């Protein structure tokens, strides 16, 4: 066994690998860029080596610097994590030359599976069911339209070197096939330095289900069952689970066995994942094989009890797998939520900045429920533009899917993140979504369920009542505290704390009264028996647990204009609490009206203007392309929302814009 390994990655996955190495008694070496000098993975490792400036191309992707770091520290093996150098055959080769082990598959397997066109051909030869389509390169736009029509619309246009959902577009007709081909090609060239494009059938009502494999160097290849990853935006995963609510035992076995056959065809060893798209009839088709540890591997670990990183290290050291296919079980249900620094209210566009507050829920197991949080950040960390905007992977494991979902909802409510835009509201809302809870998934779930974009969850009556109670209690406790510290005006403040209050919430007014009797808070609402409400809230806390009518609720509490901002289960409300006299006056105040921005095309994300497709004075039709903005290596086509006349163009290609900067103006 190795005595020291180097982790050629950063963030949560570097921390994750270090944990398993520590458990195995192996010393660890981290590498870091200037941006990561104070990062968690550096603090966790036994040693750390600086490898360059923040851009990945000058640090985490510099194979020679990583090899030099191995030599300098005496690391005998490298774990590449995911992304970066994890699927670079040349890196693997260079390590081999130096006699350093690569904790992953062999060069040949990485090469064969790294290219979507090649891997699809190998899969077909190995008897794996593949997506119908054209297996060769597409030359130009005309060729794209011709092949697409032959395959039959809708089709998926893909980059052969693609990954991370980039360089991929669906087309429903010839015009979209042409535009999609051009966009995918240019995106693939800029993201992967390889602009080869192919086209396959778009599988309708698709579900993304993948098989986790583990193989050793002695010929044993096992499948560790499936994960379903159908909750996606921009063809990228956000929420994953294991097992899949859709598979039956026979389909699972068939997918597992085909995956094993593919792995055997390329002499696979280490952990790997075979991704499939599954249609509504449970027919499954090979998409690609990822020859590395996958982001969502924790859900498999939770249901199988197998530490995948440990197994990868053992296999790389030449050990045999210590278990067989029959030992691989499915125990309970696991869910992973990827917490991203991206704003769900703005079409999930990335957001960057400092985590002014970062308090994950408690990890561990109690009453059969496990909470696990894989992360690489701490409070005060910066989410920078240089790397992936993932903040954490929150997982729950429970005996059943419903229990795992409820545990996730609670863990999300307890997760405090401030300082940057993030997708917690979306994840929370999803956990309550009936279609998700029923397991009726497809990769189009987000687009279908939120056709006009994700917005705040409207509160139901029970939530309004619960939030009103929480607001009354919080205001009361806050009032008592104010009374205690206000000295001279003690009696008046004390009196105010105990007065009846009016809560204004989501267009309702609820009158209530709180008393502090023998250490308990007794709440009186009109027409109801007095009730005791327990809470651990203290002034200044941003998270509180309330015990209301026998149920426990974690609600986020923030001071806001004349009251509180309360958040739970994806509901986000500003609640005002007044004394009755003030409530009367407040009723007379005019409501704030948001400015009308429909006369402008605003830049939806920080980005670079690639092109402007119209001129001043043009009349544009609904759906017509107006401009292309590049952000995070993606080209985003901005289209007209309605018929209009372009009165002014405010930017030119090459300009870099901030969020909400005006790109063009329309005549009214
Ligand atoms: P999966 O593992 O299921 O394929 P993704 O495709 O969402 O999940 O994530 C893998 C991608 O994450 C990589 O292809 C890369 O674009 C990105 N990535 C690379 N390095 C890192 C890193 N250190 N942390 C987070 N993401 C990374
Ligand atoms: P990447 O390398 O970017 O992960 P994949 O080929 O794995 O690319 O596809 C990513 C996602 O795109 C899939 O999970 C699925 O949602 C969607 N997708 C890809 N190919 C198809 C297809 N032929 N039909 C329907 N959806 C597809
Ligand atoms: Mg994929």
Residues 396 and 416 in one domain: yes
User: pLDDT value at position 596?
Assistant: 64
- Closest residue to atom 18 of ligand 2, CA basis: 235
User: Domain with 278 in it: what CATH number?
Assistant: 3.30.470.20
Whether 490 has a pLDDT exceeding 60, the answer reads no
Residues 174 and 252 in one domain: no
Residues 90 and 216 in one domain: no
Which residue, of 274, 304, 329, is where some domain finishes?
Answer: 329
Please provide the size of the chain in residues.
668
Contact status, residue 197 vs residue 115, Cβ threshold 8 Å: no
Would you give the end-to-end CA distance of the chain in angstroms?
72
Q: How far apart are CA 315 and CA 663, in angstroms?
A: 54
Q: In this structure, which ligand is nearest to the CA of 375?
A: 1
Percent of the chain residues past pLDDT 90, beyond the cut: 79
- Closest residue to atom 17 of ligand 2, CA basis: 235
Which residue, of 283, 301, 329, is where some domain finishes?
Answer: 329
Q: Which residues surround ligand 3, an ion (CB under 5 A)?
A: 275
Residues 543 and 477 in one domain: yes
Whether 102 has a pLDDT exceeding 90, the answer reads yes
How far is the centre of ligand 1, averaged over its atoms, from the C-alpha of 456 (Å)?
28
* Catalytic-residue membership of 310: no
Residues 500 and 562 in one domain: yes
**Domain with 44 in it:** 4-103
Q: Does residue 595 fall inside a structural domain?
A: no
Residue with the larger pLDDT of the pair 623 and 128: 128
**What are the pLDDT digits (tens) for 409-453?**
999 999 999 999 999 999 999 999 999 999 999 999 999 999 988
Residues 659 and 617 in one domain: yes
Which residue, of 405, 423, 448, is where some domain finishes?
Answer: 448
Using DSSP's 3-state secondary structure scheme, residue 570 falls into coil
Name the E strands within 234-352.
Answer: 236-242, 270-278, 284-290, 333-340, 342-343, 349-350
What mean pLDDT do residues 257-275 have?
A: 98
**What are the pLDDT digits (tens) for 528-563?**
889 999 999 999 999 999 999 899 999 999 999 889
Residues 246 and 121 in one domain: yes
Residues 363 and 437 in one domain: yes
Whether 527 has a pLDDT exceeding 90, the answer reads no
Q: Does residue 378 fall inside a structural domain?
A: yes
**What are the pLDDT digits (tens) for 373-403?**
999 999 999 998 899 999 999 999 999 999 9
Closest CA to 556 of 425, 460, 373: 425
Structural domain count, the chain: 6
Residues 113 and 237 in one domain: yes
Q: Does residue 456 fall inside a structural domain?
A: no
**What are the pLDDT digits (tens) for 300-321?**
999 999 999 999 999 999 999 9
Residues 409 and 470 in one domain: no
1 contacts: CB under 8 Å, gap ≥ 6: 24, 26, 313, 314, 317, 319
438 contacts: CB under 8 Å, gap ≥ 6: none
Q: How far apart are CA 278 and CA 301, in angstroms?
A: 23
Q: Does residue 604 fall inside a structural domain?
A: yes
**What are the pLDDT digits (tens) for 549-605?**
899 999 999 999 889 999 999 999 999 999 888 878 877 777 666 666 678 898 887
Q: Does residue 455 fall inside a structural domain?
A: no
DSSP 459: P
Residues 110 and 233 in one domain: yes
Using DSSP's 3-state secondary structure scheme, residue 38 falls into coil
Which one is catalytic: 87, 176, 200, 288? 288
Give residue ranges with CB within 6 A of ligand 2.
Answer: 131, 156, 162-165, 168, 200-203, 206, 208, 232, 235, 275, 277, 287-288, 443
Whether 363 has a pLDDT exceeding 60, the answer reads yes
Contact status, residue 415 vs residue 389, Cβ threshold 8 Å: no
How far is the centre of ligand 2, averaged over its atoms, from the C-alpha of 165 (Å)?
7
How far is the centre of ligand 2, averaged over its atoms, from the C-alpha of 156 (Å)?
8
User: Domain with 73 in it: what CATH number?
Assistant: 3.40.50.20
Q: Does residue 470 fall inside a structural domain?
A: yes
User: pLDDT value at position 494?
Assistant: 67
Lowest mean pLDDT among 390-394, 461-465, 639-643: 639-643
Q: Which of 119, 147, 168 to mutate to test the pocket of ligand 2 (most atoms within 8 A of CB)?
A: 168
Contact status, residue 507 vs residue 573, Cβ threshold 8 Å: no
Q: Does residue 453 fall inside a structural domain?
A: no
User: Domain with 560 in it: what CATH number?
Assistant: 3.30.700.30
Give residue ranges with CB within 6 A of ligand 1.
Answer: 9-11, 13, 81-84, 163-164, 236-237, 290, 294-296, 388, 390
Whether 492 has a pLDDT exceeding 80, the answer reads no
User: pLDDT value at position 633?
Assistant: 61
Q: How far apart are CA 187 and CA 630, in angstroms?
A: 9
CA dihedral 641, 643, 644, 645 (to 10 degrees): 130
User: pLDDT value at position 483?
Assistant: 76
Q: Does residue 76 fall inside a structural domain?
A: yes
Residue listed under structure tokens 């050793």: 216
Nearest ligand 2 atom to alpha carbon 155: 23
Residues 316 and 222 in one domain: yes
């Amino acid at each position: 066994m190795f005595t020291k390994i180097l982790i050629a990655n950063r963030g949560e996955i570097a921390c994750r690998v270090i944990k398993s190495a520590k458990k195995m008694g192996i010393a660890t070496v981290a590498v870091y860029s200037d941006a990561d000098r104070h990062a968690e993975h550096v603090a966790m490792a036994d040693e750390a080596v600086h490898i360059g400036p923040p851009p990945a191309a000058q640090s985490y992707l510099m194979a020679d610097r990583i090899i030099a770091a191995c030599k300098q520290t005496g690391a005998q093996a490298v774990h590449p994590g995911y992304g970066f150098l994890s699927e670079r055959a040349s890196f693997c080769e260079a390590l081999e030359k130096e006699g350093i082990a690569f904790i992953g598959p062999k060069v040949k397997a990485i090469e064969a599976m790294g290219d979507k066109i090649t891997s699809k051909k190998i899969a077909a030869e190995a008897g794996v069911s593949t997506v119908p389509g054209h297996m060769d390169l597409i030359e130009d736009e005309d060729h794209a339209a011709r092949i697409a029509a032959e395959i039959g619309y809708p089709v998926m246009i893909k980059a052969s070197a693609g990954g991370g959902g980039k360089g991929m577009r669906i087309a429903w007709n010839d015009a979209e096939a042409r535009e999609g081909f051009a966009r995918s090609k240019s995106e693939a060239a800029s993201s992967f330095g390889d602009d080869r494009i192919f086209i396959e059938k778009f599988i309708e009502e698709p579900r993304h289900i993948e098989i986790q494999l583990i193989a050793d160097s002695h010929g044993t290849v096992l499948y560790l069952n499936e994960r379903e990853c159908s909750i996606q935006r921009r063809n990228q995963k956000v929420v994953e689970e294991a097992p899949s609510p859709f598979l039956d035992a026979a389909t699972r076995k068939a997918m597992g066995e085909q995956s094993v056959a593919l792995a055997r065809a390329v002499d696979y060893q280490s952990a790997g994942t075979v991704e499939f798209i599954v249609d509504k009839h449970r027919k499954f088709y090979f998409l690609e094989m990822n020859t590395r540890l996958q982001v969502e591997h924790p859900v498999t670990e939770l249901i199988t009890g197998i530490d995948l990183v440990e197994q990868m290290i053992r296999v790389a050291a030449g050990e045999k797998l210590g278990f067989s296919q029959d030992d691989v079980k499915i125990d309970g249900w696991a869910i992973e939520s990827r917490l991203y620094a991206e704003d769900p209210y703005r079409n999930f566009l990335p957001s960057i900045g400092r985590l002014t507050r970062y308090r994950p829920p408690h990890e561990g197991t109690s009453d059969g429920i496990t909470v696990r949080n894989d992360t690489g950040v701490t409070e005060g960390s910066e989410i920078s533009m240089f790397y992936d905007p993932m903040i954490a992977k929150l997982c729950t494991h429970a005996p059943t899917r419903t229990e795992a979902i409820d545990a996730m909802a609670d863990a999300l409510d307890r997760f405090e993140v401030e300082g940057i835009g993030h997708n917690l509201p979306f994840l929370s809302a999803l956990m309550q979504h009936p279609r998700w809870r029923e397991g009726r998934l497809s990769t189009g779930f987000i687009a279908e369920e939120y056709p006009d974009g994700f917005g705040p969850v409207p509160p139901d009556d029970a939530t309004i009542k619960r939030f009103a109670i929480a607001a009354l209690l919080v205001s009361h406790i806050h009032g008592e505290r104010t009374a205690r510290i206000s000295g001279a005006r003690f009696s008046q403040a004390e009196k105010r704390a105990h007065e009846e209050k009016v809560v204004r919430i989501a267009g309702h007014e609820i009158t209530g009264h709180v008393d502090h009797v023998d250490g308990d808070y007794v709440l009186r609402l009109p027409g109801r028996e007095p009730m005791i409400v327990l809470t651990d809230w203290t002034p200044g806390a941003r998270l509180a647990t309330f015990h209301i009518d026998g149920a426990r609720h974690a609600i986020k509490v923030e001071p806001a204009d004349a009251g509180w901002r309360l958040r739970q289960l994806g509901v986000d409300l500003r609640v005002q609490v007044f004394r009755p006299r003030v409530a009367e006056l407040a009723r007379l105040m005019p409501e704030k009206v948001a400015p009308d921005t429909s006369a402008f095309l605003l830049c939806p994300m920080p980005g670079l203007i690639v092109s402007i497709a119209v001129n001043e004075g043009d009349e544009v039709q609904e759906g017509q392309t107006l401009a292309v903005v590049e952000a995070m290596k993606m080209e985003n086509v901005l289209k007209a929302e309605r018929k209009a006349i372009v009165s002014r163009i405010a930017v030119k290609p090459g300009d870099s814009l901030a969020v909400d900067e005006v790109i063009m103006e329309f005549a009214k």
